[in-house]
Structure 1
Amino acid sequence: MVHENKTYIKELDCFKAELSEKDFKAFSSFIYTEFGIKMPAVKRIMLQGRLLKRIRSLNMNSYTEYKDYLFSAEGHKEEIFNFLNVVTTNKTDFFREPVHFDFLNSTVLPNHINGNQSREAFKIWSAGCSSGEELYTISMILNEFKRSNVSFNYSMLGTDISKNVLSKAARGVYPFNKVDIVPLDLKRKYFLKSKDKENPTVKVQSELQRNLNLKFLNLMDSSYSNITEKFDVIFCRNVLIYFDRATQEAVINKLSMHLKVGGFFFIGHSESLTGMDVPLEHIKPTIFRKK
């Protein structure tokens, strides 16, 4: 960590510039307006560090020069997704917040089988799927359930605002230590280990990707017109924390329009719907059902 800090300071000295308060406010306002993400003053140094490499790769000389380019018609079209990939945080893991997957397996899926006489496919959406660890965790649960319920069919949708992480999710390749948390029997069934001993990775088996569709989506859009299905379950975990309260409520209401009546909605453990006007009833901590 000390080495990383020294490297960052050295780069900053060579750059001979810093992110001014004026430019930070301009970036912060843009991030909030375009993506609904809060960027308070305490994150100024973080944003400065994250933008540094991108600016240097474009051979620019200052944050102001980069800002002017980004806000231009040409820059907005060509640079917007690179900018977004730089400023967003995409922290995720396999089997993160495992109580949700336990509830999915023990309650949601059996209820679906028992109450689904028409044998409709089970549909699940991960909104803010990041690099795919959540999606493939869900896919393991669904595939295991299908092994003992042969008539069960499903489809999965993963959406994110970052095309960079959607590409990672599509590849399904992860550092080997990423799957340490995955139970050994599932690891053996659903992951292929690379032969590269210096940089060991794993790749998800095609079985986990068979019923998966990935799409770009900005949750700040006025409607989600490119999402046409109604879902039995929506995961929107550790996404709402980046929005203010009014934006959170608006996003949840838009997501809920694509949730079947009686369908389940999962949020992260650091998030809350208390006091919001949304069509969801509380079932368990961080688990809700559409009224």
Structure 2
Amino acid sequence: MCDMILTDDEFRLFSQLIYNESGISIKDAKRNYLQTRLQKRLQASQHNSYYRYYKFVTDKTQGGRELLDLVDSLTINETSFFRNRPQFDLFVDLVLPELKKKRANNLKLRFWSAGCSRGQEAYSIAMSLLDHLELPNAWDIKILASDISLRVLESAQKGQYSEYEAETVHPEYLKVYFDKVDGSFQIKPHVKKLVIFDYHNLKHDNGLVGLDVIFCRNVMIYFDADEQKRLIEKFHKSLAVGGYLFLGHSESLQGLSEKFKFIYHSKGAVYQKTG
């Protein structure tokens, strides 16, 4: 089965299915990548042909979870605590002071980590807030962390990380925000309670409203221009006026939207909703 070649028709069937389900665009240059992932899913689900597997995953009565697993297998869940640290420096030095002034009356802050993977980004946001708000317990803070992968969400909710994964966390943060458990680091309850993990399909599910900041980094690279435009429009509707959008270092809104102001700083870059 490992030598099965994906035909043109099969490639079109699966690439269209994946696009319709998730918005992930798989061009012909990624055919071998798709074929490799499909072969692993065929083996895991005990199917011996691409066609039978396709019939299975498109049968809503029995193949729904397998379709989620297929989409999951196509994404790279690479992340780390405080990834692209200059952006987090910008967040605490520029964005957070503005939010503190803006929300001084109701002390309410809302964040979205879209494509949160195993939770490091969301927990990094939480630790940054706890460290840089004078009286964090006085604030109503909610960080929604979402992903299309049920597997990584389950791991994120546990909040347990290896010593290697914790290497990018400042030693003082490790003392304050983690417990050492059997050679690994466990996120402490007062950090975990700020984060809500949930399944979210960026193509089909509705966005949130009234958000102060959205982190969606290294996610748009999976989408074509049409899906990127739809996603950015969803983010625009989700953000409060003046809200902020952080993208990956290789991602840009150029040619996608004129509803955001680009803010460049020596410590990083961020987009701000203008209206």
Does TM, normalized by the shorter one, top 0.5? yes
SS at match of 1:269: coil
Quote the residue 2:91 is aligned against: 104
1:77-136 per-position Cα deviation (integer Å, ceiling 9, x unaligned): 342222222222211111111122111111222222233331331111111111101001
Which of 87, 95, 104 lines up with 2:74 in the alignment?
A: 87
SS at match of 1:74: coil
In the alignment, is residue 288 of structure 1 matched against residue 271 of structure 2? yes
Which of 133, 138, 146 lines up with 2:133 in the alignment?
A: 146
C-alpha deviation, 1:265, in angstroms: 0.9
1:44-63 per-position Cα deviation (integer Å, ceiling 9, x unaligned): 22222223233222222122
SS at match of 2:110: strand
Quote the residue 1:239 is aligned against: 219
Which of 215, 236, 251 lines up with 1:256 in the alignment?
A: 236
Tell me which moved more, 113-122 or 245-254.
Answer: 113-122
1:208-264 per-position Cα deviation (integer Å, ceiling 9, x unaligned): 11121122111112733xx3x411111111111111112111111111111111111
Whether contact under 8 Å (1:252, 1:278) holds in the other structure is no
CA distance, structure 2, for counterparts of residue 288 and residue 163 of structure 1: 29
Closer, same or farther: CA 148–74 of 1 in aligned 2, 3 Å: closer
Quote the residue 1:61 is aligned against: 48
Which of 60, 68, 71 lines up with 2:58 in the alignment?
A: 71
SS at match of 2:157: helix
CA distance, structure 1, for counterparts of residue 59 and residue 137 of structure 2: 55
1:150-201 per-position Cα deviation (integer Å, ceiling 9, x unaligned): 6444211111111111111111122220111111111122222332xxxx43
Closer, same or farther: CA 128–65 of 1 in aligned 2, 3 Å: same
CA distance, structure 2, for counterparts of residue 54 and residue 164 of structure 1: 15
CA distance, structure 1, for counterparts of residue 162 and residue 32 of structure 2: 29
Structure 1 spans left out of the alignment, 5+ residues:
1-10
RMSD (Å), alpha carbons: 2.0
Structure 2 spans left out of the alignment, 5+ residues:
none
Quote the residue 2:101 is aligned against: 114
In the alignment, is residue 271 of structure 1 matched against residue 251 of structure 2? yes
Quote the residue 2:123 is aligned against: 136
Q: Which runs of 4+ in 1 moved over 6 A?
A: none
Tell me which moved more, 113-122 or 20-29.
Answer: 113-122
Which of 22, 26, 36 lines up with 2:9 in the alignment?
A: 22
How many residue pairs are counted as aligned between the two chains?
A: 271
